[in-house]
Chains A and B, each alone.
Chain A
Amino acid sequence: MNASPNGAILSAAGIHKRFGALVVLDDVDFAMGADEAVGIVGPNGAGKTTLLSVLSGAYPPSAGTIAFKGGDVTALPATQRCRLGLVRTHQVPKPFGGMTAFENVFVAASHGAGLGRDEAYEEALASLKLCGMLGVANRRAETLGLLDRKRLELARALAAKPTLLLLDEIGGGLTDGEAGELVETIRELRRRQIGIVWIEHIVHILLQVAERLICMDAGRIIADGDPQAVMADPQVIGAYLGGGPK
């Protein structure tokens, strides 16, 4: 089965994900181009993070297929998808706590991007610099605060040289100033032609980057398109406020 429209770098068709009796993703179809920046919003429990996990290969879908760069990757584990250029960050940061920030990022550059030693050093330093982490490069990740852990998530994913980056709530808990820096960083990634899928609750940050917005609710995509139009969609408003039209 190949539902990917022409030009789609990532496409998912008929994705279901169940945990026991709980249906978290219910027939999700999703496709995006290589140069798109897609935002995903939705109330808690809508299935956003699960969708990201299924796309990145953290766990397999219960049904459906996923294609990346023209090949079926449904059966590929996260390691292989990362090496193909499909890289995610984690909503709750998962640093390598006993390693320094630099070492965290170096692992991604040498294994994810498959770079040799010196190139991996360069890439790791460049990623840390882009995320404003050079100053804490030698700190063990477990000693970093939440903000730096989130930055490290991003820096580490970047060092794996993604063609498509899946971001899971990296803006949560940021001050306006910090959020502004984050938006600048993401814009820089856009200039480098890295495709972005970004789950975020802080919609005004998201809308500074996203050219397309998807709203999920109860395991389904309920709206998809121009961000302003999606935000004005009565179904979307209903999903957030409850009791809206179905």
Chain B
Amino acid sequence: MSAAVIARGTAASRIAAIAVAAIISLLALAPQFLSAGAVDRMTALFIYVILAAMWNALAGFGGLVSVGQQVFFGLGAYFTIRLANAGLNPFVSLFVSAVVVGAVSWPISLFMLRLKNGEFAIGMWVIAALTHLLVNLDRLVQGETGTSLISLNVYDASTRRLTIYWLALASMAALLAVLFGLLRGSTGAAIRAIRDNEDAAASVGVRVTGTKRLLFVLAAFGIGVAGALWLATAITFQPKTYFNVQWTAYMIFMVLVGGIGTFEGAILGALLFFLIETWFGGAGVWYLIGLGATALVFSLLLPRGLWGTLEERFGWRLLSVGYRVRLPGIAENPAGAIAAPAQSATSREKA
């Protein structure tokens, strides 16, 4: 047998793992040094990261492009309202709600996963619109008048702000960890195989439908957490705000700009989106035009997104879920090929 070794990480990725742990610890301490407004903004950032990571897992890794993920965002908020109204502690409600969202997504997956590509994408939008209408029928919600998570009012503003900040940070860290573990394992390889060719995946023993369902439900749960957390920061619940397709548009923007199909890309995209919103969010309609133009420029010039481009050009792999074969005595070039002629040609081109 060859003495080839399978490498999962690089020196850079081990440093990255430590850096991620350090950043999360620092973020946990950060509220002591931040203004109330900044704490709220950071909470929003954590929610954006969750949204981007979940949409990226679904579309970038699993090939399940959906433009209806706002359905789970809205339901996350809606079930929180319902559970809190039934007397459950509002903070506990946030997470029980997300579990309910995951449970609801399972029967939805039974028929939605039969659809392919564009049909699935638009079908999810239809599901979102339909769910929006159903939620409007609930008397508690009072149609588009909406309602509030009033039971949060028993906590003073500062406690509330900090608790939600920490819950959002913890949720983000936990969901990223779960996602990374899943995508890095053999199930992750199956997920990517299904994305690339479903028939071929089935022909080599991958359980296609079950694997897609797992990913779909996990993404629904994660986006449910995000919706519930958003409600906790905003307090008010108006269905049209939460079931708005703009949420999925933001997810797509973050993932496309950051780098679809790379774990780092979604996080980077969320950070960029957050900065753009922070700096230009006040510019009204021009802000939206700017977002659209940015997305357009990226999809035309950098279709792999920022991280995807950097990864390809410099061989950067920080939170990589891939596998590298190391053969003894053969040096690897940055693009990851083992001294293959075609690749060295491209390297020359770039040099």
Chain A residues within CB distance 8 Å of chain B: 56, 58, 77-79, 82-83, 87-88, 90, 94-100, 102-104, 106-108, 110-114, 117, 120-122, 125-126, 129, 134-139, 141, 143, 145, 156-157, 159-160
User: Do A121 and B324 touch across chains, with their CB atoms under 8 A apart?
Assistant: no
At the interface with chain A, which of B41-49, B168-176, B285-293, B336-344?
Answer: B336-344
Q: How distant is B323 from chain A, measured CB to nearest CB, in Å?
A: 5
Whether the pair B203, A98 counts as a contact (CB closer than 8 A) is no
B6 close to A (CB within 8 Å): yes
- How many residues of B are counted as interface, with CB atoms below 8 angstroms from the partner's CB atoms? 36
19 contacts between A and B (CB under 8 A): A56-B203, A82-B202, A82-B203, A82-B205, A94-B203, A96-B195, A96-B196, A100-B325, A107-B190, A110-B189, A111-B206, A121-B6, A122-B1, A125-B1, A134-B338, A135-B339, A138-B332, A159-B204, A160-B205
A108 touches B204 (CB 8 A): yes
Which A residues lie within 8 Å of B6 (CB)?
102, 121, 125
The reply to whether the CB of B327 lies closer than 8 angstroms to some CB of chain A is yes
B197 to chain A, nearest CB (A): 5
Contacts A94-B199, A111-B186; is A143 near B204 (CB within 8 Å)? no
> Among A83, A100, A139, which residue has its beta carbon within 8 angstroms of that of B323?
A100
Chain A residues with Cβ below 8 Å from B197 are 94-97
Residues of A within 8 Å of B343, CB to CB, are: 139, 143
Complex formed: what's the CA distance from A90 to B199 in Å? 10
Q: B2 to A125, Cβ gap below 8 A?
A: yes
B199 touches A137 (CB 8 A): no
A125 touches B261 (CB 8 A): no
User: Given A107-B193, A143-B342, are A83 and B205 also a contact pair (CB < 8 Å)?
Assistant: yes
Cβ B340 vs Cβ A114 within 8 A: no
- B235 interfacial contact with A, CB 8 Å: no
Task: Please pick, from B206, B325, B340, B342, the residue contacting A79 in the complex, using a CB distance under 8 A.
Answer: B206
Partner of B204, one of A77, A102, A112, A135: A112
A160 to B203, CA, bound (A): 9
* Complex interface: chain A residues within 8 A of B301 (CB): none
Known: A90-B203, A106-B323, A111-B205; 20 extra A-B contacts, CB below 8 A, are A58-B203, A87-B204, A95-B197, A96-B192, A99-B189, A100-B323, A102-B323, A110-B189, A111-B190, A111-B206, A117-B186, A121-B6, A126-B1, A134-B338, A138-B332, A138-B336, A139-B337, A139-B342, A157-B203, A159-B204
For the complex, what is the distance from the CA of A138 to the CA of B326, rounded to whole Å?
9
Please measure, in the bound complex, the distance between the C-alpha atom of A114 and the C-alpha atom of B205, giving whole angstroms: 8
Is B86 in the interface zone, CB < 8 Å from A?
no
A138–B189 contact, CB under 8 A? no
Q: Please give me the residue from chain B that is nearest to A143 by CB atom.
A: B342
Selected from B190, B200, B325, the residue in CB contact (under 8 A) with A102 is B325
Please judge, given known A-B contacts A79-B202, A106-B323, A138-B336, whether A95 and B189 are in contact too, CB under 8 Å.
Answer: no
Cβ of A117 to closest chain B Cβ, rounded Å: 7
Contacts of B2 in A (CB 8 A): 125, 129, 134
Greatest chain B CB density within 10 A among A100, A111, A126, A135 is at A111
The 8 closest A-B CB pairs, nearest first, are A112-B205, A96-B196, A94-B200, A108-B204, A137-B325, A82-B205, A110-B186, A111-B205
Q: Please tell me if the beta carbons of A99 and B196 are within 8 angstroms of each other in the complex.
A: yes
